[in-house]
Structure 1
Amino acid sequence: MTFAALQKSARARHLSILGGFHPDAGDDVPQACRTILLLGPDEPAFWPVYQDSPEALDGAPDPMDRWSRRVIGAWAETLGAQALYPFGGPPFLPFYSWALRSGRVHAAPVQFLVHDTAGLMVSFRGALALQAHIDLPDSPPSPCQTCAATPCVTACPVAALTPAGYDVPACKAYLDTAAGQDCLTGGCRVRRACPVSQGFGRLPAQSEYHMRQFKGA
């Protein structure tokens, strides 16, 4: 079982392995776990497939979380692995810390996570905890190291998301205005401003879905 083979299997399920790590004694992972693999949507293939899924069409709550449990859970079973999810709490599993441990995800200047290929569009649908040691690819440096312009710092029209923190009420209030419709339907301008995000391929309809979920939370 190689990383390349697992990545191929992930993409067959419209997911992608966005990073992984080999746990140390202090990591909050299942017992006997030797490799954690972090899974996110494989863009842009993910969204059309998800939209046609039973979970997206049945009208029941939490469709994307249920899709994730079904798809990742079934895959984990075939691997003899344990499926882990960033939702379903509290308590919540430390996906933020796990992402940083992968070496492929870093803290951006605006404190959101930034990924080497997904940029600020990075998101996780789950993880696999494997008892096997999987050799992982070398991690590239943070894309922020070569981003002199840092457009994410000034992209928010109401300065709700800056290095000083995240003003969630100001963000949500702006989404209720006429001017905020671009953010609501096209996705967060801060996430879109990241040069890496712009090449990632997430469809605007998916960003709109997440923004509406956020606005209604």
Structure 2
Amino acid sequence: MIAPAGSVDRIAAALFANGLILRGGFNFALGEAPPTGSSGAPAAAVLLVGQAGAAPWPHFLRWREKQPRTIADPLDSWSREVIGAVAETFGARAVSPSDRPYLPFQQWAMRAEGLRPSPLGILMHQRYGLWHAYRGALLFDDELSVQAAEAAPHLCDSCVEKPCLKSCPVDAYSGQGFAHQSCLAHVRGANGEPCRSSGCLDRNACPYGTAYRYPPEVQAFHMASFAAVAG
């Protein structure tokens, strides 16, 4: 069974009211082993939910004002609440990137939007650059009428200078991967103030999608979360 095409439009509108957007989706193929949908049977389709730029930030702040200041992982909690409400309305099962065991969100995202990773590991988007995120997904028991992702040039392939690999003072990103402990020690240390207040220097050095760059206060929030729980 295929759900009506208008269902996807209504889901998009419900998410947009909270600053979130649909990030593409697809129907699972025969032979795959998808997670379960709302009925408990293997899901037939998935829609990715996320953001472009900092559009959800004012919605999140209004929600946070009403929550206990001690709430853990507030942005994750807000995302779960918003996406969960949409899932309930449209008969889907909501899942999150932080769910255990982890679901293959990056693989889903690459499949849904035709994206590839940047040298920083963040998926490079043709319009948003590195300034986007995935906040959850909706799993459906029925197939959906969704458009397949079109192949697009990978912006990182034409970026000769690679400033994203030259701006970090501790060379956290390289061909060998992400030096997690070096990054964490620097962010927490005496010389890490620029990163704590304005975000990752490597990410900010990327020339693409700058119109969607997160404001300093949003980047500081994410960096504080990283410094508080990582390692």
Regarding TM over 0.5, the answer is yes
Q: 2:77 aligns with which of 53, 57, 66?
A: 66
Q: For structure 2, which runs of at least 5 residues remain unmatched after alignment?
A: none
Q: 1:33 to 1:160 in 2, by over 3 A?
A: same
Q: 1:18 to 1:109 in 2, by over 3 A?
A: same
Q: 1:201 to 1:112 in 2, by over 3 A?
A: closer
Partner of 2:34: 28
Partner of 1:78: 89
Q: TM-score, normalised by structure 1?
A: 0.87
Deviation digits for residues 82-108 of structure 1 (CA, Å, limit 9, x no counterpart) = 11111132x111112212222433111
**Aligned counterparts, 1:26-105, within 5 A:** 26-30=32-36, 31-54=41-64, 57-59=67-69, 60-89=71-100, 91-105=101-115
Structure-1 separation of matches of 2:175 and 2:169: 15
Partner of 1:154: 166
Higher relative contact order (CA 8 A, sep 6+): 2
Query: How many residue pairs end up in the alignment?
Result: 216
- How far does residue 180 in structure 1 lie from its aligned partner after superposition? 1.8
Structure-2 separation of matches of 1:88 and 1:5: 26
State the percentage of identical aligned residues.
Answer: 32
Structure-2 separation of matches of 1:191 and 1:27: 34
CA RMSD of aligned residues (A): 2.3
Partner of 2:188: 176
Structure-1 separation of matches of 2:145 and 2:162: 35
Computing the radius of gyration from Cα coordinates, the structure with the larger value is: 2
Contact 1:110 1:161 in 2 (8 A): yes
SS across alignment from 1:98: helix
Structure-2 separation of matches of 1:70 and 1:144: 35
- How far does residue 122 in structure 1 lie from its aligned partner after superposition? 3.0
Q: 1:54 to 1:154 in 2, by over 3 A?
A: closer
Equivalent residue letter for 2:130: L
Deviation digits for residues 30-80 of structure 1 (CA, Å, limit 9, x no counterpart) = 345333211113533311220110477422222222211211011011111
1:143 aligns with 2:148: no
Q: Which moved more, 1:71-80 or 1:112-121?
A: 112-121
Q: TM-score, normalised by structure 2?
A: 0.82
